[in-house]
């Protein structure tokens, strides 16, 4: 963990006292668990997507993101005890619209990417107060891989079959125009405390 993140993580507890939230050790354990949950989602979805791309091509693999991604997220959520999902301000799935914390987290990760951090290492977390109590929030960047470009790249370069399938499946699609290494969205992980 970098020094500014560590300071941001521990500073509120120095002023508010331990009774106001989880200890640094408890937060570290939650971060480790959130990383495992986000990694499980990325690994499972990535594996199914790679298989579908090889068997059906890019237009045939769209169904994996549409049908399987929500199921995989639900399975990971159940197994981990967190609520786990993928979101992006430029969402494809209408259920993938970020809340205010998620949008801010992604913007922060994009700034860190622009400052030279490696895309695959970008994550952030925070304990936040909500109207229903405190929540642990975690975000893991979803960097664009070269294989993603056939569905998420420059719209002029997306194959016609993929464009047609996207138009049919996602009429309000905003998830194009990306280049390799850009942050396309985040895996959002949260749990009430």
Between CA 134 and CA 154 the distance in angstroms is 40
Q: Does residue 7 belong to any structural domain of this protein?
A: no
Between CA 169 and CA 172 the distance in angstroms is 9
Burial class (CB in 10 A: 0-12, 13-18, 19+), 65: buried
Q: Does residue 111 belong to any structural domain of this protein?
A: yes
pTM of the complete model beyond 0.95: no
Q: Does residue 18 belong to any structural domain of this protein?
A: no
Q: Does residue 144 belong to any structural domain of this protein?
A: yes
Mean pLDDT, rounded, for 4-20: 47
* 15 pLDDT above the threshold of 80: no
Distance of CA 9 to the CA centre of its chain: 20
- Average pLDDT score over the chain: 90
Question: Which residues form the domain of 185?
Answer: 23-192
Give 40's Cβ-side CA count (13 Å radius).
20
Q: Does residue 164 belong to any structural domain of this protein?
A: yes
pLDDT band, residue 69 (cuts 50/70/90) = very high
Q: Does residue 10 belong to any structural domain of this protein?
A: no
**Degrees, nearest 5: CA angle 183-184-186:** 85
Domain count, the chain: 1
Mean pLDDT, rounded, for 39-62: 93
Tens digit of pLDDT for each residue in 139-182? 999 999 888 899 999 999 999 999 999 999 999 999 999 999 99
Between CA 92 and CA 137 the distance in angstroms is 23
Q: Does residue 13 belong to any structural domain of this protein?
A: no
* 185 pLDDT above the threshold of 50: yes
pLDDT band, residue 20 (cuts 50/70/90) = low
Instruction: Kindly report the CATH number assigned to the domain that includes residue 115.
Output: 3.30.450
Q: Does residue 172 belong to any structural domain of this protein?
A: yes
* 13 pLDDT above the threshold of 60: no
């Amino acid at each position: 963990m970098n020094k500014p993140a560590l300071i941001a993580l521990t500073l509120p507890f120095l002023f508010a006292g331990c009774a106001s939230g989880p200890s640094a050790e408890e937060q570290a354990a939650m971060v480790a668990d959130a990383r495992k949950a986000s990694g499980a989602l990325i690994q499972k979805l990535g594996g199914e997507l790679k298989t579908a791309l090889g068997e059906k091509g890019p237009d045939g693999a769209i169904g994996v993101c549409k049908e399987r991604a929500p199921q995989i997220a639900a399975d990971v959520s159940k197994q981990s005890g967190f609520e786990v999902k993928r979101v992006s301000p430029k969402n494809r799935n209408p259920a993938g619209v970020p809340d205010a914390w998620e949008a801010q987290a992604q913007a922060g990760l994009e700034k860190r990417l622009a400052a030279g951090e490696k895309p695959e290492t970008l994550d952030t977390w925070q304990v936040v107060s909500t109207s229903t109590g405190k929540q642990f929030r975690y975000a893991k960047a979803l960097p664009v891989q070269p294989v993603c470009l056939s569905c998420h790249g420059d719209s002029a370069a997306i194959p016609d079959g993929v464009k047609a399938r996207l138009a049919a499946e996602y009429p309000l699609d905003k998830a194009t125009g990306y280049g390799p290494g850009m942050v396309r969205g985040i895996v959002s992980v949260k749990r009430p405390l």
